[in-house]
Amino acid sequence: MDHQIKENGFHQGKNTNNDLAMSGNPARLKRNLSRDAVSLALKGEWERATEVNRAILELFEDDVEAMNRLGKALMELGDYTAAKKVLDRVVSVAPYNNIAKKNVARLTHLEATPAATAKQARKGGTAPHLFIEESGKSGTTVLQKPAGDQFIARLTPSEPANLVVEQNSINVYTSEHEYLGQIEPRLARRLIRLMYSGNKYDAAILGINDRVISIIVRETYRDRAVNDVCSFPTRIKEEHRVYLSDNLVRYIGDDNLEDDDEPAIDEEAMDTEWSDGE
């Protein structure tokens, strides 16, 4: 959906914001805008995500989910002052909201790390299709020996990651060559053998929660020499699986769902799995 958005409003036209919210189906309008906001966040398009979430709040001023997403987007842009203002509003409206608590904690870490500010706004997301698990070709895992707390606070779910074989291990780095953590030895040994055989893999950060970093790894090329070898057999995937919300997978994987058949967005689940997680 292509929305015309201005700084503090939704649509430049004859109708007012309230007219738009009350005409037609306001619940569907809110759902569609929310899906746009989530999609933009997955792609790392934080400025546009900020605009869409502000548009939602113009229509539904106490929408806690939109405020949380707006706070998150502002943090990714390095606008910590504006983010704090939004998060303070969330806490006043919903003092026990878990996502707000996590965002506030992350903002505290970010404010304590001045060097993060310049890098934060430069981050971009990766292709949403990378987050859809495909049998035998993708898997999720939690990194071992993760980076320090303050560095983890700067990370963005959906940020690309690089897999580097070093001394019989696979270390994981950001696109700026900053260390993230290490893939579990058993899974690493399997992937190393396949990489040496010619396979290629992409990776991205799936979620951040306290000192836990989860990533998704996807096979992008399979060499003929190992054509019959699965990168992620079912047994391996179950041992290292990080739960990804079915709602999120369906949303990313199917853009053609009819509005009335679309699943609700589970903000709490996405916060845990991909967003901070958000």
CA-to-CA distance for 109 and 113, rounded, in angstroms? 7
CB 267 within 8 A of CB 35: no
- Residue 35 and residue 74 share a domain: yes
DSSP for residue 232 = B
Total domains in the chain come to 2
Asked if residue 10 is part of any domain, the answer here is no
- Residue 197 and residue 152 share a domain: yes
pLDDT at 27: 82
DSSP for residue 112 = T
Asked if residue 5 is part of any domain, the answer here is no
Can you say whether the dihedral through the CA atoms of 128, 132, 134, 139 is positive or negative?
positive
Query: Which residues on adjacent β-strands are paired with residue 162?
Result: 173
Q: Which residue ranges in the chain fall short of pLDDT 50?
A: 1-17, 20, 118, 121-122, 237, 241-278
pLDDT at 52: 92
- Residue 55 and residue 160 share a domain: no
Q: What six digits make up the tokens of 181?
A: 């953590």
pLDDT at 85: 92
User: Which residue carries 């053609």 as its tokens?
Assistant: 256
- Residue 258 and residue 214 share a domain: yes
User: Quick check: helix, strand or coil at residue 222?
Assistant: coil
- Residue 264 and residue 178 share a domain: yes
Residue ending a domain, among 85, 116, 147, is 116
pLDDT at 181: 92
- Residue 142 and residue 85 share a domain: no
CB 73 within 8 A of CB 49: yes
CA-to-CA distance for 141 and 62, rounded, in angstroms? 36
CA-to-CA distance for 163 and 212, rounded, in angstroms? 18
Over the stretch 182-211, which tens digit does the pLDDT of each residue have? 999 999 999 999 999 999 999 988 777 767
Q: At what angle do helices 64-76 and 80-93 cross, to 10 degrees?
A: 160
pLDDT at 103: 80
Amino acid at 32: N
- Residue 200 and residue 84 share a domain: no
Please give the residue range of the domain that contains residue 155: 128-275
